[in-house]
Amino acid sequence: MDSDTAQGGTEGDLAKGDTAQDELVVVPLRHWGRWVGGAVILGVLGALGWALADAKIDYAAVPGFFTHDIMLRGLVNTVVLALAAQAGAIVLGVVIALLRRSANPVARWFAAGYVWLFRGLPVLLQILLWFNLALVFENISVFGLFEEKTNVLVTAFVAALLGLGLNESAYMAEIVRAGLNSVDHGQVEAAKAIGMTPATTLRRVVLPQAMRVIIPPTGNNFINMLKGTSMASVIGFLELIHAANNIASRNLQIMETLLAAAAWYMVVVSVASVGQHFLERYYGRGVAR
């Protein structure tokens, strides 16, 4: 108690105005570490750039490969395959997610098994399995209404679509499930209370709100999908990598053609990121930030 009073007294004296104190100059903290860190990073980048500039790469040839006919066909095929596989995966994913939440135990069990299987196998393996389907089923027939040779039906595109799409649908099912679970149960009750049927409730109330949670990981996955189409090169589908190899096989400019393909991947991925941004903004409406 005594010391407290003594201290209080001292503070009072200090505050009372000592002109020397009022004139003290402030010295800002110098962040030396930041300067050193920044310099190191710039140094490394400079060295890397210098090395690349000096490398045995014919940069002048890259723009030509970038707009090469075969490369452009590869680009279109890459984008079409990614879009088709992702679209199918989203539809299937919603269905599997709904089955997972079903009151029917058999449906729940099936959905869990579906995710377990298609998420568990490497995509490349799945693509190869589909592509070689003809080895085990010579013909594909739907209850006798339709019959066709497997070889004709399962082209490289179809095999890649099935492999990429089914794998992705398992991930989409989990993403959609998380999105549906994120919607407050009070929302469903409010919808019921105004007489909405379960289907209308899902379409008008639950899914639009779940989208806010579903979009970011889906955008992430779509970017993965765009790059994942490169695996279809293994079964001879003419996507960007296959196109690059195709061109390089004639002129042996392997690095230059791969760089042109790399540039296209960056373009396509950037466009997808911008699209994701606008989708997020649309579905984020009505949410306080």
Partner 1 sequence: MSLVRAVGVRKSFGHTEVLRGVDLTVDAGQVVCLLGPSGAGKSTFLRCVNHLETIDAGRIWVDGQAVGFTTRGGKLFELREREVARQRRGIGMVFQRFNLFPHRTAVENVAEGPVHVLRTSRKQALEEARALLDRVGLADKAGSYPHQLSGGQQQRVAIARALAMRPKLMLFDEPTSALDPELVGEVLDVMVDLARDGMTMIVVTHEVGFARQVADSVVFMVDGAVVEAGVPEQVLDNPRQQRTQQFLAKVL
Q: Given the rule CB under 8 A, which residues bind partner 1?
A: 184, 186-187, 189-200, 204-205, 208-209, 283, 285-288
Nearer to partner 1, 7 or 200 (CB): 200
Tell me the C-alpha to C-alpha distance, in Å, between residue 202 and each of 13, 197, 209, 221, 226: 71, 9, 10, 24, 30
Q: Which residue lies nearer to partner 1 by CB, 118 or 283?
A: 283
Residue 219, CA distances (Å) to 25, 79, 133, 223, 278 in order: 52, 15, 31, 6, 11
Q: How far is the CB of 203 from partner 1 (least distance, A)?
A: 9
To partner 1, the closest distance from the beta carbon of 209 in angstroms equals 6
Contacts of 52 by beta carbon, 8 Å cutoff, 6+ apart: none
Q: How far is the CB of 217 from partner 1 (least distance, A)?
A: 19
Q: Which is nearer to partner 1, 79 or 205 (CB)?
A: 205
Give the span between the Cα atoms of 214 and 217, in whole angstroms: 6
- At its nearest, how many Å lie between partner 1 and the CB of residue 107? 16
Q: How near is the Cβ of 211 to partner 1 at its closest, in Å? A: 9
- Our CB check for partner 1 shows the closer of 51 and 199 to be 199
Nearer to partner 1 (CB atom), residue 53 or residue 199:
199
* Nearer CB in complex with partner 1: 59/282: 282
Neighbours of 248 (CB within 10 A): 18
Residues 6+ apart with CB under 8 A from 202: 98
Residue entry with tokens 């009070």: 186
Q: How many CB atoms lie within 10 A of CB 238?
A: 19
The least CB distance from residue 192 to partner 1, in Å, is: 6
65 Cβ neighbours under 8 A, 6+ residues apart:
71, 244, 247, 253, 256, 257, 259, 260
